[in-house]
Amino acid sequence: MNEFLLIVLAYLIGSIPSSVWVSKYFFGIDIRDYGSGNAGATNTFRTLGPNWGSFVMLADMLKGIIAVKLVYLIPYYLDHESQMTNLQIGLGLAAVVGHIFPIWAEFRGGKGVATVFGMVLGIQPIVAVCCVGVFLLVLYLTRFVSLSSILASLAFPIFILVIFNEKEDLYRIFAIAVALMVLITHQKILDVFSREVKARFLFLNTGIAEDSAGAAGLKETNSNFHFLKV
C-alpha cells in the first residue's frame, strides 16, 4: 500500500461526520442547522448536551489517531523515524481536511480542532497532554469551550518550538499552521468575544447599563455569545 492510498484513506476516515450522523439518526435534525452551524464537538455539546458532545469529541479525536497510525501499514517507515513523522503529519492533515470538508456530508464539516488533537496525540502524546492542560485550565477559569480550544491551539506551537524544541522542520511548520488555522476558522467567535469583552469593560467602568456603546455592544453580543459558553 503506497503513501498516496494511505493519504486518501486518511481523508475518508476524517470525513466521517460523527456529529451529523448522531444528530440525524438519534434526534432527526442536522446539527449544522443549530447553534454555531458547525459539525463539530463543541456545537454538539451546546445543542445535544454533554453526553453526545463527549461522544462526538472522542470520535473526532479517534479519526486523527487512526489516521496517523496508518503509517504502520508501510514497514519501511518503522526504521526511519524522521520520515515516519513526516508521513504521519501528512496523514493527520488529510484527516483534518476530511473533517472540515467531509465527502460524506456535502463537504460541510467542523473546524477540526478535536481531529488535530487526536493527530498530535497519536504522534507526540506528551505535547497533546500539555495542550489538554491548557484547555482545562482556561475552561475552568472562563467556562468558554471555544476560547479554551483557541488558546490550547495557540499553545501548541509554543510547546513544539520553545519548550520541547522539536527538531523536525515539518513538525515545526505544522505547529504554526495549526495555530493560524484555528485563528482563521474561529474568526467569528473571536470577533464576538472581543465585542463582548469591550461591552462589559465599558459597562463596568461607566456603571450605566444604558450607555449607548455599552448597551448596543452588550445587546448584540449577548444574542451570539451564549453559544460560546459551557
**pLDDT per residue as tens digits for the range 70-84:** 999 999 998 888 899
Mean pLDDT value across residues 90-112: 94
Neighbouring CB atoms inside 10 A of 133's CB total: 12
pLDDT tens per residue, range 213-225? 444 444 444 444 4
pLDDT at 230: 54
For residue 227, pLDDT beyond 70: no
In this prediction the pTM is 0.78
Neighbouring CB atoms inside 10 A of 53's CB total: 22
